[in-house]
Chains A and B, each alone.
Chain A
Amino acid sequence: MKFTVQINEGPYQHQASDSALQFTKAALEKGHEIFRVFFYHDGVNNGTRLTVPPQDDRNLQKAWSELAEKHGLDLVICIAAAQRRGIMDENEAKRQGLDADNIAPGFRISGLGQLIEGGIQSDRLIVFGD
């Protein structure tokens, strides 16, 4: 089965990102395919590399980046939502005349069409949010 996972909330504030991470891991363990993980609304904040969470608790951004690397996952951050909230990759930052970028490894910024495409191409689309 092919899954697209949508995450509507940022890390730690809501359980959405954690639930999605656990679901995604379980799906991969069962041999399913994750077509795409799409971060929307505050979910884009999962993709900043500048977080320094306490050492004795999970590091959500690293967890996503590492899972993406291990399984070749497509982690997509919505460009419109990212622009609103200040998640930038090098190209976007240059385009916007900003002096820094902050995207985490394994994430890429793209359009909302990627979410719709996920719905079309996948067998199931699951939304985690508030």
Chain B
Amino acid sequence: MSTVKKFMFVNRKAPYGTIYALESLEVVLISAAFEQDVSLAFVDDGVYQIAKGQSTEEIGMKNFSPTYTALGDYEVTKIYVEKESLDERGLTIDDLMDLKYEDEDDDWAEKDSIRVVSSEELAQIMGEQEVILSF
């Protein structure tokens, strides 16, 4: 399969209240095996999926947030977070997990995967995608 398409996974729902966050992450990891041009967008309540400090023992559910830190190893290095969504929720990038990747084109330098973007910027990035999956 030599076709490479720009895939975007749009996440707009909070984690744990529903299964969408967890199961959409599973799709992202599988997509890595297909060597597509993958990016993630966190919009609206989706930004809560990558909030730091998640601790789930008392609700009896698995804490799957550590899996986001593995995204860099799966070559998913473009993680867009909408600034308006953060602002609406009183959050800043400091409230989010530290997601990084190693840039093989830059001597494996560690870089931030999260790019906080404005609605306008995200609209443009979305407009460039070829396949958009929503959950």
Contact = CB atoms under 8 A, between A and B. Distances in A.
Contacts of A115: 27, 30, 133
Interface residues of B, number: 19
Interface string B97-135: 000000000000000000000000000000000011111
Interface string A1-37: 0000010100000000000000000000000000000
B10 to A, nearest CB: 10
A8 B26 contact: no
Interface in B27-72: 27, 30-31, 33-34, 36
A116 B27 contact: yes
A53 interface: no
A10 to B, nearest CB: 12
A125 interface: yes
A129 B30 contact: no
A117 interface: yes
Given A119-B7, A119-B131, A113 B33 contact: yes
Question: What's the dominant secondary structure at chain A's contact region?
Answer: helix
B17 to A, nearest CB: 12
Contacts of B31: 116
Interface of B: 1, 3, 5, 7, 19-20, 23, 26-27, 30-31, 33-34, 36, 131-135
Given A111-B30, A112-B30, A120-B1, 18 more contacts: A40-B27, A41-B19, A41-B135, A113-B30, A113-B33, A115-B30, A116-B7, A116-B27, A116-B31, A116-B34, A117-B1, A117-B34, A120-B5, A120-B34, A120-B36, A125-B133, A127-B133, A127-B135
Interface of A: 6, 8, 40-41, 80-81, 111-113, 115-117, 119-121, 125, 127, 129
